[in-house]
């Protein structure tokens, strides 16, 4: 069933993308990739995946568009408020014992999670003792994250999420509204370093005390999940924390025994000493 | 009727789905032999109550899926709220946060389309009561790969839109009451 012509074409297309552009989607979970490529094929009016491959190889603009089909930019500020609440209540007291704090948000999409944590750390009194590395594979998403501009009609949900996360101030303190858009405060960005980084092909770049990587691992097959968690493990200092999405876990990875379940409900882990 | 022996079941439903599903799942015996993947639309902020709700009613084991878990025969899997559920060619289940389909995440179409790709003509797809048209394209995919397409009799359904949309898109769909669907599934399991 899974070796029909389309499967072959899809494998070759991903191979072509890797060799031409060094973006490696070959180890992503196939069902979702297949669905996304089908949408892309229709969008570019390509009769076949082989035809799409031809266009991608010869036109880098097509590739840029295709990356946006293959990576899913769905996010919210303070998505799953209970995750952020748990960070405030159980992780922050621990993080406060470090003289300075480095945080890595991997797969940060268009910045929703980044501003959430930047605001949280400000509310919790970290001042300028925190540096946040915000990374994603999609350069367009990174650019938007850096801009920090969101549609005003999303603010109602974001404000409610922020409140439920135990927010100590008003979300509107952190953005200005203009022309239907909410623009997040520049001062928040002073502590954020945005950059292009792939969990599949790049390596550890800094030592951090907290990694937040939410709803990215679900798009990977097990082997890639292992690779990503290896990076997190290598990047975390002793007793550092790792937060995942609400339905992700380390259970099926090689690193299950290298972390303790710090908060099972919201999938926060702590790196063991050895 | 599919050419091969059915190996897996997917069920999709929305409004009215809890009652309808109870009537089917409560009939599945402890030694039911096929895996069953279920999408029922629920508000995204609701905690995952479905699997615990049906655990008591169903003889077969019921659980909410975990990302990349292997599909085990005889287990009933519920999608997690606010995530799509997909079947991987490796016969594992995966989650995704892709955009909503017909305002729904999880979406029935997403599950059915990925499952048809993996199980081909050994898949049974079932659409029950519901008030939108998610599932019609998915059931059509089941039909196209030669699987068995089943739709709850609209007159019996609490909400008819979903079954009607599915029948519209699937010419070969068998239209059956909940009782008949349950009988059929039990019988298929015995034939394994
Ligand atoms: C569904 S979004 C999650 C956004 C946010 N973390 C959240 O949970 O709301 C998934 C993100 O992972 C990114 N991504 C996909 N593959 C990646 C990779 N290999 N390395 C880094 N980021 C990746 C996508 O570009 C996308 O921004």
Strands A101-106 and A130-136: parallel
Q: Which candidate, B137, B127, B138, places its Cα nearest to that of B162?
A: B127
3-state secondary structure of A124: coil
Is A76 inside any structural domain? no
3-state secondary structure of B127: strand
Q: Is the same domain home to A229 and A170?
A: yes
pLDDT higher than 50, residue B146: yes
Q: Is the same domain home to A64 and A159?
A: no
- Indicate which residue's Cα is closest to atom 13 of ligand 1: A107
Contact B120 A1 (CB under 8 A): yes
Q: Is the same domain home to A122 and A21?
A: no
Cα–Cα dist A138/B169, whole Å: 37
Is A221 inside any structural domain? yes
Residue B76 gets the label, from left (phi > 0), alpha (psi -120 to 50) or beta, of beta
Q: Is the same domain home to A205 and A265?
A: yes
Return the pLDDT at A1.
Answer: 43
Q: Is the same domain home to A129 and A191?
A: yes
Return the pLDDT at A3.
Answer: 59
Return the pLDDT at A117.
Answer: 98
Domain ranges of chain B: 8-190
Return the pLDDT at B42.
Answer: 80
Q: Is the same domain home to A157 and A61?
A: no
Is A8 inside any structural domain? yes
Ligand 1: centre distance to CA B167 (Å): 37
Is A54 inside any structural domain? yes
Contact call for residues A265 and A82 (beta carbons, < 8 A): yes
Domain of residue A41 covers 3-71
Is A133 inside any structural domain? yes
Residues of A in contact with B119 (CB under 8 A): 1
CATH architecture of B8-190: 3-Layer(aba) Sandwich (3.40)
B47 falls in which pLDDT band (50, 70, 90)?
low
Q: Is the pTM value of this prediction over 0.80? A: yes
Contact B87 A31 (CB under 8 A): yes
Which regions of chain A are under pLDDT 50? 1-2
Ligand 1: centre distance to CA A109 (Å): 5
Contact call for residues B48 and A247 (beta carbons, < 8 A): no
Contact B67 A249 (CB under 8 A): yes
Among A71, A93, A117, residue at a domain's last position: A71
Q: Is the same domain home to A45 and A179?
A: no
Return the pLDDT at B45.
Answer: 65
Question: For the segment B59-110, what is each residue's pLDDT rounded down to a tens digit?
Answer: 999 999 999 999 999 999 999 999 999 999 999 999 999 999 999 999 999 9
Among A16, A44, A71, residue at a domain's last position: A71
Q: Is the same domain home to A39 and A170?
A: no
> Per the structure, how many domains does chain A have?
2
Among A16, A41, A71, residue at a domain's last position: A71
Q: Is the same domain home to A128 and A256?
A: yes
Q: Is the same domain home to A62 and A107?
A: no
- Annotated catalytic residues of B are 14, 41, 134
């Amino acid at each position: 069933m899974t070796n029909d012509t389309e499967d072959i074409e899809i494998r070759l297309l991903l191979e072509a993308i890797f060799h031409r552009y060094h973006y490696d989607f070959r180890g992503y979970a196939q069902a979702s990739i297949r669905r996304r490529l089908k949408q892309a094929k229709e969008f570019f009016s390509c009769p076949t995946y082989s035809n799409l491959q031809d266009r991608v190889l010869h036109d880098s603009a097509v590739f840029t568009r295709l990356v946006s089909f293959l990576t899913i930019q769905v996010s919210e500020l303070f998505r799953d408020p209970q995750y952020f609440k748990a960070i405030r209540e159980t992780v922050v007291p621990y993080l406060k014992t470090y003289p300075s704090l480095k945080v890595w948000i991997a797969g940060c999409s268009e910045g929703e999670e980044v501003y959430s944590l930047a605001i949280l750390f400000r509310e919790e009194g970290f001042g300028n003792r925190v540096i946040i590395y915000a990374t994603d594979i999609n350069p367009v998403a990174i650019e938007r994250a850096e801009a920090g501009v969101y549609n005003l009609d999303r603010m109602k949900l974001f404000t409610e999420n922020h409140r439920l996360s135990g927010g100590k101030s008003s979300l509107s303190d952190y953005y200005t509204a203009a022309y239907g858009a909410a623009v997040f405060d520049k001062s928040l960005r002073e502590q954020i370093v945005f950059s292009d980084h792939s969990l599949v092909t790049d390596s550890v770049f800094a030592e951090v005390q907290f990694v937040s990587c939410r709803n990215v691992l679900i798009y990977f097959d097990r082997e890639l999940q292992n690779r990503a968690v290896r990076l997190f493990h290598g990047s975390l200092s002793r007793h550092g924390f790792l937060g995942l999405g609400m339905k992700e876990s380390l259970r099926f990875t090689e690193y299950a025994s290298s972390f303790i379940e710090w908060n099972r409900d919201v999938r926060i882990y702590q790196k063991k000493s050895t | 009727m599919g050419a091969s022996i059915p190996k897996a079941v997917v069920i999709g439903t929305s409004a009215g789905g809890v009652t309808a599903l109870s009537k089917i799942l409560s009939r599945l015996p402890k030694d039911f032999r096929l895996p069953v993947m279920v999408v029922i639309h629920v508000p995204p902020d609701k905690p995952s109550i479905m699997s615990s709700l049906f655990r008591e009613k169903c003889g077969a084991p019921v659980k909410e899926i975990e990302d990349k878990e292997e599909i085990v025969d005889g287990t009933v899997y519920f999608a997690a709220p606010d995530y799509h559920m997909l079947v991987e060619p490796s016969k594992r289940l995966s989650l995704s946060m892709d955009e909503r389909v017909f305002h729904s995440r999880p979406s029935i179409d997403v599950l059915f389309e990925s499952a048809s790709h993996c199980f081909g003509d050994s898949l049974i797809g079932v659409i029950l009561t519901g008030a939108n048209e998610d599932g019609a394209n998915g059931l059509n995919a089941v039909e196209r790969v030669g699987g068995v397409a089943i739709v709850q009799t609209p007159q019996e359904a609490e909400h008819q839109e979903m079954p009607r949309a599915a029948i519209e898109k699937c010419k070969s769909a068998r239209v059956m009451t909940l009782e008949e669907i349950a009988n059929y599934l039990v019988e298929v399991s015995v034939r394994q």
